[in-house]
Amino acid sequence: MVNDQVIVLCCIIGAGVMVFIGWAVTHRFYQQELRPNVEGLGQEFSQVQYMRELRLRHHDQLAAMYGGRYALENARRDAASWNTS
């Protein structure tokens, strides 16, 4: 009769092997597609700039809660100068 500890060890090793096989199959057949750089493709207000302003707005809200300084006006000035050039 096989010891219970050996059965548990075999189950753990088998699970690890199955995880590795699953990773190998998905890595082989489902590779990530390369995304083009979306920043600077057009002259309009891009998604990257919008996300930057949204992130700065959130940081400003956090700063306002704790008495910090605002950086959003500087970001808007940068965006305005970028659109005019």
Per-chain mean pLDDT for the chain: 77
Give the pLDDT of residue 17.
98
Give the pLDDT of residue 37.
57
- Using an 8 Å Cβ cutoff, are 39 and 48 in contact? yes
> For residues 8 and 34, what is the distance between their CA atoms, to the nearest angstrom?
42
pTM: predicted TM-score of the whole model, two decimal places: 0.38
| Long-range contacts, stretch 32-37, CB < 8 angstroms, 24+ apart | none
Name the residue ranges covered by the structural domains of the chain: 1-31, 40-75
pLDDT tens-digit series, residues 30-62: 876 666 655 555 556 688 888 888 898 888 888
* pLDDT above 80 (res 20): yes
pLDDT band at residue 16 under the 50/70/90 scheme:
very high
